[in-house]
Amino acid sequence: MPFPQLPPVLGEALTARGYSEPTAVQAAVLQAEAEGRDLVVSAQTGSGKTVAFGLAMAPDLIGANGMVGFAEGPQALVVAPTRELALQVSRELVWLYGKAGARIASCVGGMDPSKERRALRDGPQIVVGTPGRLRDHLERGALDLAHIRTVVLDEADEMLDMGFREDLEELLDATPEQRRTLLFSATMPPQIARLAQSYQRDALRISTIGDERGHGDIAYQAVTVAPADIEAAVVNLLRFHEAPSALLFCATRENVRRLHTTLQDRGFAVVALSGEHSQSERNQALQALRDRRARVCVATDVAARGIDLPSLSLVIHVEIPRDAETLQHRSGRTGRAGKKGTAVLLVPYPRRRRVESMLRGARIEADWIAAPTAEDIRANDRTRLLEALLEPAEFDDEDRALAAQVLEQRSPEDVAAALVRAHRQAMPQPEELIANNPERQRADRQERHRPGFEDVVWFRMDIGRRQNADPRWILPLLCRRGHITRNEIGAIRIGPNETHFQIPRAIAERFDGSVRRTASAEDGNDVTIEHAPDGPRQAARQNRKGNDAPRPGPNNGPRVRPVAQGGKKPWPKKPHRKGSRKAD
């Protein structure tokens, strides 16, 4: 449906930005029952809530002449949890209220406070800022809230989680009692209800989340990986999707720093956002993403608040979100304004149940898949490369003259091959992932055997899980000791104290001879590698039989009293209680 009756200046601004009809939250705040009332609004990230509260506070700002009138102090206050979100809100309100003559001041941490104080003295009608910086200006007398008509708390749940309750209460207490308070929050925890009860009057409750809490424009995927393969899986996901912009979430600054360095070393155009970066560095990183000079951003949850990139189509949860709300906040960076997006959760094998529970709580249906392999990526590369090379293009005379010179010295096939190689060299190489991925193992079991492994011989190593056995270092060790490649190693079964692996029968004798020769010359010669004719199943049965051997006790021979307690004397037998099973 079209927008309801709006001041002409706002209607023109919306049309200029390509808005033809309101989103669900925008339509809800413009209903007649919401006019002039306090609001408690639950809306998804990326649902257009910034424009929604911009339209909702219009009756308190725009006069009969269709313009924002003069006042002795700010008339609207918008509070957001982070610098990026506050600056994004400020940019949205600038284009929405630009033709109405509104002046907007931003007050956020990391910016020059003296410039902000000068902007506040110039008489802005709308002030947007973060809680701490606004409170600082209020206490220094630079911010006058005596004439505020509307207060907007954007992402109030996040501000309370970040410990801004006292700042919010001081700001609200400094505003007139007859003001309107618009509280926007993706979730409604109890502390939000208490805040609304304390500072709102007869608030209208609006929720546009509905029964399906997951974003309709976001495809969720859960990728199972070995804990040691997290960074390699990130590389393969970025290469597989080749998204115009991708956002990667980590839990700590240190993890952001490490992953950022890893991706830089691999050749990705990547920037980082975390609490250790200055505002100038953050602005430069975001501008690099907007200019397409960078395509990947690694960030913490808080630092990513307010990021709005139209080209962002891929979100990767490198570390599992702490709860369903964080999952939705993170994923909501993509799939915005009707565009499709993909959110991928990297799930280490031991944490799958926790993620499944989180997804159920968020009412999100995710596809459980294996991480893309190097071959999957190469197949995608071939398709994308053909499309890029065969798409229509215009060439000038200089290009054609140079092409003619090249063709005089090389055949067309060689020229095309060189062009393909140049394209491939510009792409980071995919990673080889650990083969024992549970999702891929299910697919392999359906195929029964890998090609070339129909007839195999089992070998064993005298190390297992208790000795921290891991395919990431077992594979290179076997290749060095046995003079083979990783493609000649079949299934690997890691037990508590030993590891079994397959070698094709055709090369088993050669492999056995090599590991015997290298046993004394190779680093790691303390690891014994030998033929295991029984295989892992028979070894496991033997272990179970050994564990089931009778132990000394009342029914299997006398137990012996420790020497410290009086020497080797049999323990006295305990009398059976009357009515017990043994007595019966």
CB-CB contact of 214 with 183 (8 Å): no
CB-CB contact of 195 with 318 (8 Å): no
The residue with greater pLDDT, 420 or 352, is 352
Classify residue 560: in a domain, yes or no: no
pLDDT of residue 554 exceeding 50? no
- pLDDT band at residue 446, thresholds of 50, 70 and 90? very low
Residues sharing a CB contact under 8 Å with residue 109, sequence separation 6 or more, in sequence order: 83, 130, 132, 133, 279
Tell me, yes or no, whether 402 and 508 share the same domain. no
Tell me, yes or no, whether 392 and 336 share the same domain. no
Q: Which pLDDT belongs to residue 211?
A: 41
Q: DSSP secondary-structure letter at 305? A: T
Q: Which pLDDT belongs to residue 209?
A: 65
- pLDDT band at residue 163, thresholds of 50, 70 and 90? confident
Q: Give CA–CA dist 313/168, Å, rounded.
A: 34
pLDDT of residue 196 exceeding 50? yes
The mean per-residue pLDDT over the stretch 299-315 comes to 79
Task: Give 260-284 pLDDT, tens digit per residue.
Answer: 999 998 889 999 988 788 777 888 8
- pLDDT band at residue 216, thresholds of 50, 70 and 90? low
Residues sharing a CB contact under 8 Å with residue 36, sequence separation 6 or more, in sequence order: 59, 180
As a whole-number percent, the residues of the chain with pLDDT over 90 amount to 26
Residues sharing a CB contact under 8 Å with residue 163, sequence separation 6 or more, in sequence order: none
Q: Which pLDDT belongs to residue 226?
A: 84
| Phi, psi dihedral angles at 230 (to 5 degrees) | -60, -55
CB-CB contact of 24 with 216 (8 Å): no
User: Tokens 């002030």 correspond to what residue?
Assistant: 127
Q: Which pLDDT belongs to residue 539?
A: 61
Q: Where are the beta strands (DSSP E) in 331-428?
A: 341-348, 366-370
* Residue 479 burial (CB count, 10 A): 15
The mean per-residue pLDDT over the stretch 529-545 comes to 70
The residue with greater pLDDT, 99 or 110, is 99
- pLDDT band at residue 448, thresholds of 50, 70 and 90? very low
- Tell me the pLDDT of the chain averaged across its residues: 81
Q: Which pLDDT belongs to residue 496?
A: 86
pLDDT of residue 352 exceeding 60? yes
Query: Which SS3 state, helix, strand or coil, does residue 484 take?
Result: coil
Give the least confident one: 74-88, 224-238, 387-401, 563-577. Answer: 563-577
Q: Which pLDDT belongs to residue 19?
A: 81
Classify residue 556: in a domain, yes or no: no
The residue with greater pLDDT, 27 or 554, is 27
Classify residue 400: in a domain, yes or no: yes
Q: Which pLDDT belongs to residue 2?
A: 64
Q: Which pLDDT belongs to residue 520?
A: 66
Q: Which pLDDT belongs to residue 540?
A: 58
Q: Give CA–CA dist 546/396, Å, rounded.
A: 80
Q: Which pLDDT belongs to residue 572?
A: 46
Residues sharing a CB contact under 8 Å with residue 111, sequence separation 6 or more, in sequence order: 83, 133, 279
CB-CB contact of 204 with 38 (8 Å): yes
Tell me, yes or no, whether 362 and 381 share the same domain. no
Tell me, yes or no, whether 187 and 260 share the same domain. no
Burial class from Cβ neighbours inside 10 Å (0-12, 13-18, 19+) for residue 420 reads middle
Q: Which pLDDT belongs to residue 335?
A: 75
The domain spanning residue 538 has which CATH number?
A: 3.30.70.330
Beta-bridge partner residues of 314 = 246, 342
The residue with greater pLDDT, 505 or 228, is 505
Classify residue 551: in a domain, yes or no: no
Classify residue 583: in a domain, yes or no: no
Classify residue 242: in a domain, yes or no: yes
Q: Which pLDDT belongs to residue 240?
A: 93
CB-CB contact of 268 with 404 (8 Å): no
What's the Cα-to-Cα distance from 44 to each of 33, 331, 433, rounded to whole Å? 22, 10, 35
- Lookup: tokens for 290: 């907007």
The residue with greater pLDDT, 537 or 136, is 136
Tell me, yes or no, whether 363 and 512 share the same domain. no
**Range of the structural domain that residue 226 is part of:** 218-373
Q: Which pLDDT belongs to residue 568?
A: 43
The residue with greater pLDDT, 458 or 211, is 458
Tell me, yes or no, whether 368 and 380 share the same domain. no
Q: Which of 245, 263, 233 is nearest to 333 (CA)?
A: 245
Element (H, E) at 538: helix 535-547
Q: Give CA–CA dist 498/538, Å, rounded.
A: 13
Q: Which of 332, 341, 342 is nearest to 48 (CA)?
A: 332
CB-CB contact of 234 with 255 (8 Å): no
* Residue 76 burial (CB count, 10 A): 28
- pLDDT band at residue 319, thresholds of 50, 70 and 90? very high
Q: Which amino acid appears at position 16 of this protein?
A: A
Tell me, yes or no, whether 108 and 224 share the same domain. no
Q: Which pLDDT belongs to residue 559?
A: 43
Q: Which pLDDT belongs to residue 210?
A: 54
Tell me, yes or no, whether 400 and 465 share the same domain. no
Classify residue 476: in a domain, yes or no: yes
- pLDDT band at residue 421, thresholds of 50, 70 and 90? confident
Query: Which SS3 state, helix, strand or coil, does residue 351 take?
Result: helix
Tell me, yes or no, whether 253 and 313 share the same domain. yes
Tell me, yes or no, whether 404 and 301 share the same domain. no
| Phi, psi dihedral angles at 105 (to 5 degrees) | -115, 140
Q: Which pLDDT belongs to residue 69?
A: 76
Burial class from Cβ neighbours inside 10 Å (0-12, 13-18, 19+) for residue 245 reads buried
pLDDT of residue 447 exceeding 50? no
Tell me, yes or no, whether 347 and 492 share the same domain. no
Task: Give 357-408 pLDDT, tens digit per residue.
Answer: 889 888 888 999 989 988 889 888 888 888 877 777 777 888 888 888 888 8
Q: Which pLDDT belongs to residue 396?
A: 82
The mean per-residue pLDDT over the stretch 280-302 comes to 87
* Residue 506 burial (CB count, 10 A): 12
User: Tokens 């639950």 correspond to what residue?
Assistant: 42
CB-CB contact of 472 with 434 (8 Å): yes
Beta-bridge partner residues of 456 = 504
The domain spanning residue 117 has which CATH number?
A: 3.40.50.300
Give the total residue count for the chain: 584
Q: Which amino acid appears at position 220 of this protein?
A: Y
Task: Give 41-62 pLDDT, tens digit per residue.
Answer: 887 666 788 899 999 998 889 8
Q: Which of 399, 41, 438, 368 is nearest to 207 (CA)?
A: 41
Q: Which amino acid appears at position 448 of this protein?
A: R
pLDDT of residue 150 exceeding 90? yes
Q: DSSP secondary-structure letter at 564? A: G
Q: Which pLDDT belongs to residue 74?
A: 93
Q: How much is the CA Rg of the chain, to the nearest whole Å?
A: 33
- pLDDT band at residue 81, thresholds of 50, 70 and 90? confident
pLDDT of residue 23 exceeding 90? no
- pLDDT band at residue 438, thresholds of 50, 70 and 90? low
pLDDT of residue 560 exceeding 80? no
Q: Give CA–CA dist 106/94, Å, rounded.
A: 11
Classify residue 454: in a domain, yes or no: yes
CB-CB contact of 482 with 521 (8 Å): no
Residue that finishes a domain, picked among 543, 563, 578? 543
Number of domains in the chain: 4
Query: What is the value of pTM for the model shown?
Result: 0.57
Burial class from Cβ neighbours inside 10 Å (0-12, 13-18, 19+) for residue 137 reads buried
Tell me, yes or no, whether 418 and 491 share the same domain. no
Q: Give CA–CA dist 486/288, Å, rounded.
A: 40
